[in-house]
Structure 1
Amino acid sequence: MRPDISVFGRYTYLATEVFWGAIAFLLLRRAGALGRAAKTVIALYPIAYVWDWYTLEIGIFDIELRTGRDFLGVPIEEHIFMVVVPSLVIAFHETLHEVVD
């Protein structure tokens, strides 16, 4: 049996993104990599947007427990997801490979 994480109702997806986004931000800040991560996210964002828009458009997946607000045809939570995921990956990479002086 899976735990019920729907306590935030339609804000559940958004709450999890804020949680993981905060972790990514703190790790990137600690590693001094906020600028480098931002450049990478900006480069990847258009690809992620088109991919996400297309998969939603053809019905590959449906997002439950979301706010219901869309921007440019994609739920706002997905826009945040497209920033948080690469940021978190870069944050872990930078933290694991931190240069110690």
Structure 2
Amino acid sequence: MNLAPLLDQSEAPEVLAPPFEVPITFRRNGRNRPIVLRADKGAPQREPDLIALVADARRWMGDLIKGKVATVAEITEREQLRPGNVSRVLPLA
């Protein structure tokens, strides 16, 4: 890089245009450390009911996308659920 035009005001400075190279070196400090999660007594545990709801919602959304069912009402009837249950769970998908 020629800095002379920047110091001399009488001459118009050159504009840098790609491709240009900038020397750089990467230096690592330390090592990668693994993330260790400890299961404390107060740590949250898995909720099997919530996991089951998400699994159902994903299955129902897949059925809707693939065209196996046309409406949420068909899923409600097929699963023998109360009206509104499927539409409340579908956002979990």
- What is the TM-score of this pair, normalised by structure 1? 0.27
Greater gyration radius? 2
For CA contacts below 8 A with separation 6 or more, give which structure has more relative contact order.
1
Higher helix proportion: 1
* Normalised TM-score (structure 2): 0.29
